[in-house]
Structure 1
Amino acid sequence: MFSLVLQVADLLMIVASASIAQSLVYGDATAPSHIDDLFGLLALVLALLAFRLFGVYRSRDIGNAVRSTSRALCSWLAAQLAIGLISSAYPNAHLRGNWIASWTVVAAGLILMTRYSLYAALRALRSRGYGRIPVAIVAPAEEGHELATRLESKHDAAFSLELIFDTALDRDTLVADIPAVRQLESFTQLVRAHRISELWIVDARDERRCIERIVEAFRDDFVNIRIVPALKGHLLPEPAIVDCLGMPVLNVVAAPARGLRTLPKAVFDRLFALGALIALAPLMTAIAVTVKCSSPGPVFFRQYRKGMNGEVFSIYKFRTMYQGADRPGEITQASRNDTRITRIGRFLRRSSLDELPQFINVLKGDMSVVGPRPHAVEHDEYYKNLVQHYMYRYRIKPGITGWAQVNGYRGETERVEKMAARVRFDIHYIQHWTLGFDLKIIGMTLVRGFVGSNAY
Structure 2
Amino acid sequence: MFSLALKIGDLSMIVAGALIARSLAYSDTAPPSHLDDLFGLLALLAFHLLGVRRSRHSGGAVRSTSRALFAWLAAQLAVALVSSKYPHADLRGHWIVFWTGLTAALMLMLRFVLYAVLHALRNRGYGRTPVAIVGRAEQGRELAARLASKRGAAFSLELILDTALERDTLVAQVPAVRQLEPFAQLVRAHRVNELWIIDARDDAASVEQVVDMFRDDFVNIRIVPALDGRALPEPAIVDCLGMPVLNVVAAPERGLRVLPKAVFDRLFALCALIGLAPLMTAIALAVKWSSPGPVFFRQSRKGMNGEVFSIYKFRTMYQGADRPGKVTQASRNDTRITRIGRFLRSTSLDELPQFINVLKGEMSVVGPRPHAVEHDEYYKHLVAHYMYRYRIKPGITGWAQVNGYRGETERVEKMAARVMFDIHYIQHWTLGFDLKIIGMTLVHGFAGSNAY
CA contact (8 A) 2:347 2:448 kept: yes
Do structure 1's residue 440 and structure 2's residue 444 form an aligned pair? no
Map 1:110-121 to 2 at 5 A: none
SS where residue 387 of structure 1 aligns? Answer: coil
Do structure 1's residue 321 and structure 2's residue 317 form an aligned pair? yes
Change (3 A) 1:268 1:246: farther
2:268 corresponds to: 272
Measured in 2, the distance between the counterparts of 1:52 and 1:404 equals 34
Equivalent position to 1:409, from 395, 405, 411: 405
Change (3 A) 1:267 1:245: farther
Measured in 2, the distance between the counterparts of 1:441 and 1:51 equals 25
2:307 corresponds to: 311
Measured in 1, the distance between the counterparts of 2:258 and 2:246 equals 21
Map 1:53-68 to 2 at 5 A: none
1:392 corresponds to: 388
Q: For residues 213-239 of structure 1, what are the alpha-carbon distances to aligned partners after superposition, in whole Å with 9 as ceiling and x for unaligned?
A: xx99xxxxxxxx7469xxxxxxxxxx6
Report the Cα offset of residue 256 of structure 1.
Answer: 0.5
CA contact (8 A) 2:232 2:244 kept: no
Equivalent position to 1:342, from 334, 338, 343: 338
Map 1:215-364 to 2 at 5 A: 226=232, 240-364=236-360
Q: For residues 343-398 of structure 1, what are the alpha-carbon distances to aligned partners after superposition, in whole Å with 9 as ceiling and x for unaligned?
A: 11111111111001001111111111110000000000000000000000001110
Measured in 2, the distance between the counterparts of 1:50 and 1:450 equals 37
Measured in 2, the distance between the counterparts of 1:355 and 1:294 equals 18
Change (3 A) 1:401 1:45: farther
SS where residue 330 of structure 1 aligns? Answer: coil
Change (3 A) 1:326 1:49: farther
CA contact (8 A) 1:313 1:366 kept: yes
Q: For residues 241-282 of structure 1, what are the alpha-carbon distances to aligned partners after superposition, in whole Å with 9 as ceiling and x for unaligned?
A: 113355331110010000111111111111111111111111
Measured in 1, the distance between the counterparts of 2:40 and 2:349 equals 40
Map 1:89-168 to 2 at 5 A: none
Equivalent position to 1:427, from 423, 435, 439: 423
CA contact (8 A) 1:330 1:378 kept: yes
SS where residue 205 of structure 1 aligns? Answer: helix
Question: Unaligned stretches of 5+ in structure 1?
Answer: 1-34, 57-202, 217-224, 229-238
What is the one-letter code of the residue matched to 1:428? H
Measured in 1, the distance between the counterparts of 2:309 and 2:437 equals 24
Measured in 2, the distance between the counterparts of 1:43 and 1:406 equals 37
Measured in 2, the distance between the counterparts of 1:329 and 1:38 equals 63
Measured in 2, the distance between the counterparts of 1:259 and 1:48 equals 18
Measured in 2, the distance between the counterparts of 1:50 and 1:354 equals 40
CA contact (8 A) 1:406 1:449 kept: no
Question: Unaligned stretches of 5+ in structure 2?
Answer: 1-32, 54-198, 204-224
CA contact (8 A) 1:334 1:412 kept: yes
Change (3 A) 1:36 1:52: same
SS where residue 202 of structure 2 aligns? Answer: coil
Change (3 A) 1:44 1:351: farther
Runs of 4+ aligned structure 1 residues displaced above 4 Å come to 35-53
Report the Cα offset of residue 206 of structure 1.
Answer: 3.0
Measured in 2, the distance between the counterparts of 1:426 and 1:351 equals 22
Change (3 A) 1:270 1:52: farther
What is the one-letter code of the residue matched to 2:251? A
Measured in 2, the distance between the counterparts of 1:432 and 1:334 equals 31
CA contact (8 A) 1:371 1:398 kept: yes
Do structure 1's residue 375 and structure 2's residue 360 form an aligned pair? no
What is the one-letter code of the residue matched to 1:455? A
Measured in 2, the distance between the counterparts of 1:352 and 1:50 equals 39
| TM-score, length-scaled by structure 1 | 0.51
Q: For residues 388-443 of structure 1, what are the alpha-carbon distances to aligned partners after superposition, in whole Å with 9 as ceiling and x for unaligned?
A: 00000001110111000011100000000000000000000000011111111111
What is the one-letter code of the residue matched to 1:257? E
Measured in 2, the distance between the counterparts of 1:402 and 1:300 equals 23
Change (3 A) 1:40 1:451: farther
CA contact (8 A) 1:371 1:396 kept: yes
Measured in 2, the distance between the counterparts of 1:249 and 1:448 equals 43
Name the Cα RMSD after superposition. Answer: 3.5
Map 1:75-90 to 2 at 5 A: none
SS where residue 324 of structure 2 aligns? Answer: coil
Measured in 1, the distance between the counterparts of 2:247 and 2:281 equals 47
Change (3 A) 1:347 1:41: farther
SS where residue 252 of structure 1 aligns? Answer: strand
Q: How many residues align?
A: 256
Q: For residues 22-61 of structure 1, what are the alpha-carbon distances to aligned partners after superposition, in whole Å with 9 as ceiling and x for unaligned?
A: xxxxxxxxxxxxx9999999999999899999x99xxxxx
Measured in 2, the distance between the counterparts of 1:434 and 1:441 equals 11
Do structure 1's residue 418 and structure 2's residue 398 form an aligned pair? no
